[in-house]
Amino acid sequence: MELVVTKDKTDSFDVSLSKGESEKPVVLFAAGAGGSPERYATLLQTIEAAGYTIVAPHFLEVDLGACN
């Protein structure tokens, strides 16, 4: 998978991207707060081998205590 830096007006964030076969659907894989697609490498490699395009954003760690 390729690591791509995506930018908006004020911030940037990392996205892992794997381009599959054009006729296959796109899989948006979100590991959740503080999650990283690298933790799910085996699963994502299996999906990639089946020809799907994968978009997997990297999420920053979140202090859940700050949400209360």
Ramachandran area for residue 42 (φ above 0: left; ψ -120 to 50: alpha; else beta): alpha
The label of the residue with tokens 């054009």 reads: 22
Return the pLDDT at 29: 93
Confidence of residue 67 (pLDDT cuts 50, 70, 90): low
**Structure confidence by residue, pLDDT tens digits, 1-34:** 888 888 888 888 888 888 888 788 899 999 877 6
Q: Answer yes or no: is pLDDT of 38 > 80.
A: yes
CB within 8 Å of 15: residues ≥ 6 apart:
3, 4, 5, 6, 55, 56, 57, 58
Q: What is the pTM of this model?
A: 0.72
